[in-house]
Amino acid sequence: MRIWLISLLLIWPAHIAAGGAFPQSEGTAFLSTSGTYRWNTQGAQQEVGLYGTYGWKPRLTIGVDAYFTPGVSGHALMFLRLPLSRIRGTSHIAVEFGAGAAQDANGWAPMYRLSLSHGRGWPRGWYDLTASLERRSGEPALGWKLDGTLGWKGAARVQPMLEVGVGRTGWDTPERRVSAKLRIASRRGPVWVLGIERKRSGTETTGLSLALWRRF
């Protein structure tokens, strides 16, 4: 992994998981930056990501989601998250509306995303399930994704997390992924996340990831 990728992770602040159904508290923010080194028998590539949320109102979270494979593809979206219901105090259902642009070999084009999420927390963990529809200008059909995250929490500084996802792109390419991660809390507040992922999207790849999470 190149030095510029590591440097990018170190100089940007970060956050703890605040995606899907869970609202961001009013006046607080969550920022995550990540880098992934992905490879298969055909070669290797690097990916960088940025995800942030801010609690603008008690029932309104705004955010940004960007992910790039330099020189290949990527997307950058702004989104609004609105709660639909809260069940028994610990379960949440929310809807997200996102708009921005996606990049491919033909350049940049408009992109839109609609997501519905359900999440729940309990003393020793949490989960989040998110179903999304994506429309990218120039693609013949809607793409869809179904993503699930299961995380453990407790007094230990190191906690495991599991992520799985399936979907289909607007070009009718099936996708699936599974990743195992470790969240490592630092003494000063930020959380480091180390992960390994197996993904299929046209070809099979393996990825090693490093992320930094922080709350403000």
Domains in the chain (CATH in brackets) are: 3-215 (2.40.160.40)
Each residue's pLDDT, cut to its tens digit, for the chain (216 residues) gives 443 333 333 333 333 355 678 888 899 999 999 999 999 988 899 999 999 999 999 889 999 999 999 888 899 999 999 999 865 667 889 999 999 999 887 889 999 999 999 999 888 999 999 999 999 998 899 999 999 999 998 888 999 999 999 999 999 999 999 999 999 998 878 999 999 999 998 899 999 999 999 998
pLDDT of residue 156: 87
pLDDT of residue 88: 60
pTM of the model: 0.84
pLDDT of residue 85: 80
* Residues paired with residue 22 on neighbouring β-strands, in sequence order: none
What does the alpha-carbon distance between residue 83 and residue 38 come to, in Å, rounded to a whole number? 35
The DSSP bridge pattern shows strands 91-104 and 107-122 to be antiparallel
pLDDT of residue 6: 36
Answer left, alpha or beta for residue 81, where phi above 0 means left and psi between -120 and 50 means alpha: beta
pLDDT of residue 18: 55
**212, 48 Cβ separation under 8 angstroms:** no
Which H or E run contains 21? none
Cα-flanking dihedrals φ and ψ of residue 102, to 5°?
Answer: -120, 150
Which among 134, 199, 116 has a CA at the least distance from the CA of 171? Answer: 134
